């Protein structure tokens, strides 16, 4: 049985306010609820100016805000659960992650008053307070700080946790913190939830470590590239690497099978030259090395086949590099060096 929403007659000014709120909600891709408790009026106005051009804040009575959300309906109605205390609507055409980041960046340190709950551990740091000797040293000790008079000034001798997160600030601690200029809380628009493109997000879902997120994406891209190379699945990003790998493997087969291909002949000559020189070195005879090769240096070993894409994405080419190193090892086992100049002189 479907529920029927009750209707009631409301004053015209309230009807107009609800209509304006509905228009506000409909005009943005992302709409959220923000807490505004404890924000001084001047600071709130400064925050609204800072958000101008990227987001807008609309304050109204909670009952009217709730009615407007219900009238819009769809999934945005779920935001009514977050309408309690001092709140406002926030609207933006940015994505929810960008909105959350901007709201967090706009928060500023502020003093904490007696009766408020500590949002985190409150610590009085070690060091000179800058206060002349007097009753204040007793006040510090009363709230739990390690303090004493030293060199004509009141100093805190070690970092002192004077209140733990979740505990209530009393008058004595509030006064000490004001005297020291310690502002242990942050004041700003506190995002409670935001609705965007059919999805409701809460703050813990929007708080991302951007650097870690980017690193995860790079790691995933590298893993996908390596999977493509290992599976011999060509893509625009891996085709060059696969061709380079195949070329290196074909060259290794050619060297092992001594195929007289134009691409392999220089390496075959180098291999033969290296073997000849190694054999001559084992014979205790200055004439062991043919006269044509005496005084002729062996050419350096040929560079392994590489691909330009490897330089651009080194992290994603570990498997390809391993394959190329294996190819080079195969050639080394056969004592292959590029000694074309040496044997070329011998055979004219």
Residue 297 confidence (pLDDT)? 67
* Alpha carbons 262 and 253: distance in angstroms, whole number: 14
Q: What mean pLDDT is reported for the chain?
A: 81
Angle between helices 340-347 and 265-281 (to 10 degrees): 80
Written as six digits, the tokens of 229 are 């190379």
Nearest Cα to Cα of residue 317 among 224, 191, 178: 224
Average pLDDT rounded to a whole number, residues 272-301: 72
- Higher per-residue pLDDT: 180 or 254: 180
pLDDT reading at 337 higher than 50: no
> What tens digit of pLDDT does each residue of 184-224 get?
988 889 999 999 988 999 998 998 777 888 898 999 999 99
Average pLDDT rounded to a whole number, residues 256-262: 81
Q: Look up tokens 């008079």; give the residue.
A: 149
Q: Look up tokens 């400064």; give the residue.
A: 46
Nearest Cα to Cα of residue 201 among 188, 211, 213, 191: 191
Half-sphere exposure of 58 (CA within 13 A, CB side): 23
* Alpha carbons 38 and 14: distance in angstroms, whole number: 26
Residue 164 confidence (pLDDT)? 94
Instruction: Tell me the H-state helices in 7-135.
Output: 12-26, 41-51, 62-72, 96-105
* Alpha carbons 153 and 285: distance in angstroms, whole number: 91
Residue 298 confidence (pLDDT)? 62
Residue 300 confidence (pLDDT)? 53
Residue 74 confidence (pLDDT)? 78
pLDDT reading at 322 higher than 80: no
With a CB cutoff of 8 Å and minimum separation 6, the contacts of 92 are 28, 29, 30, 54, 55, 56, 98, 99
Q: With beta carbons less than 8 A apart as the criterion, state whether 71 and 18 touch.
A: yes
24-33, 76-85, 120-129, 310-319: lowest mean pLDDT where?
310-319
Burial (CB count within 10 angstroms: exposed 0-12, middle 13-18, buried 19+), residue 182: middle
Residue 160 confidence (pLDDT)? 94
22-36, 126-140, 316-330: lowest mean pLDDT where?
316-330
With a CB cutoff of 8 Å and minimum separation 6, the contacts of 213 are none
83-97, 231-245, 256-270: lowest mean pLDDT where?
256-270
Average pLDDT rounded to a whole number, residues 116-136: 92
> What tens digit of pLDDT does each residue of 19-68 get?
999 999 999 999 999 999 878 788 888 888 888 888 999 999 999 999 99
Residue 336 confidence (pLDDT)? 42
In degrees, rounded to 5, the angle at the alpha carbon of residue 216 between the alpha carbons of residues 215 and 218 is: 65
* Alpha carbons 229 and 241: distance in angstroms, whole number: 7
Nearest Cα to Cα of residue 111 among 167, 163, 36, 186: 186
Domain boundaries defined on the chain: 12-107+188-208, 122-182, 213-347
Instruction: Tell me the H-state helices in 86-170.
Output: 96-105, 136-142
pLDDT grade, residue 139 (50/70/90)?
A: very high
Give yes or no on whether 12-107+188-208 and 122-182 have one common fold.
Answer: no
Instruction: Tell me the H-state helices in the chain.
Output: 12-26, 41-51, 62-72, 96-105, 136-142, 171-180, 203-206, 210-230, 239-257, 265-281, 308-312, 318-333, 340-347
Residue 95, classed as helix, strand or coil, is coil
Q: In this prediction, what percent of the chain has a pLDDT beyond 70? A: 80
Residue 121, classed as helix, strand or coil, is coil
Average pLDDT rounded to a whole number, residues 230-244: 89
Task: Report pTM.
Answer: 0.52
Q: With beta carbons less than 8 A apart as the criterion, state whether 48 and 58 touch.
A: no
Residue 269 confidence (pLDDT)? 80
Residue 281 confidence (pLDDT)? 79
* Alpha carbons 232 and 225: distance in angstroms, whole number: 10
Q: CATH assignment of 122-182?
A: 3.90.105.20
Which is the CATH superfamily of the domain at 12-107+188-208? Ribosomal protein L10, N-terminal RNA-binding domain (3.30.70.1730)
């Amino acid at each position: 049985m479907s529920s029927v929403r009750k209707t009631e007659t409301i004053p015209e000014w309230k009807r107009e306010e609800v209509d304006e709120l509905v228009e506000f909600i409909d005009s943005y891709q992302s709409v959220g609820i923000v807490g505004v408790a404890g924000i001084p009026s001047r600071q709130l106005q400064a925050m609204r100016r800072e958000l101008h051009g990227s987001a807008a804040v609309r304050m109204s009575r909670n009952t009217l805000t709730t009615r407007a959300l219900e009238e819009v309906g769809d999934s945005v109605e779920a935001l009514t659960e977050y309408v309690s205390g001092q709140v406002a609507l926030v609207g933006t055409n940015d994505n929810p992650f960008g909105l959350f980041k901007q709201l967090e960046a706009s928060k500023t340190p502020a003093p904490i008053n007696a009766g408020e709950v500590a949002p985190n551990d409150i610590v009085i740091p070690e060091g000179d307070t800058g206060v002349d000797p007097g009753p204040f040293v007793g006040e510090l000790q009363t709230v739990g700080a390690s303090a004493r008079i030293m060199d004509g000034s009141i100093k805190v001798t070690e970092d002192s946790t004077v209140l733990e997160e979740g505990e209530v600030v009393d008058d004595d601690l509030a006064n000490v913190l004001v005297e020291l200029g310690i502002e242990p809380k942050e004041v700003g628009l506190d995002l409670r939830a935001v609705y965007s493109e059919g999805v409701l997000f809460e703050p813990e879902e929007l708080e991302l470590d951007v650097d870690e997120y980017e690193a995860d994406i790079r790691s995933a891209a590298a893993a996908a590239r390596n999977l493509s190379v290992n599976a011999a699945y060509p893509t625009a990003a891996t085709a060059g690497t696969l061709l380079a790998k195949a070329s290196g493997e074909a060259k290794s087969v050619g060297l092992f099978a001594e195929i007289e291909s134009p691409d392999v002949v220089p390496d075959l000559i180098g291999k033969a030259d290296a073997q000849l020189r190694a054999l001559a070195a084992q014979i205790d005879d200055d004439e062991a090395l043919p006269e044509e090769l005496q005084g002729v240096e062996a050419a350096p070993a040929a560079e392994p086949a590489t691909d330009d894409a490897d330089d651009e994405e080194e992290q994603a080419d570990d498997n390809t590099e391993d394959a190329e190193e294996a190819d080079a090892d195969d050639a080394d086992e056969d004592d292959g060096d590029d000694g074309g100049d040496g044997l070329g002189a011998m055979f004219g």
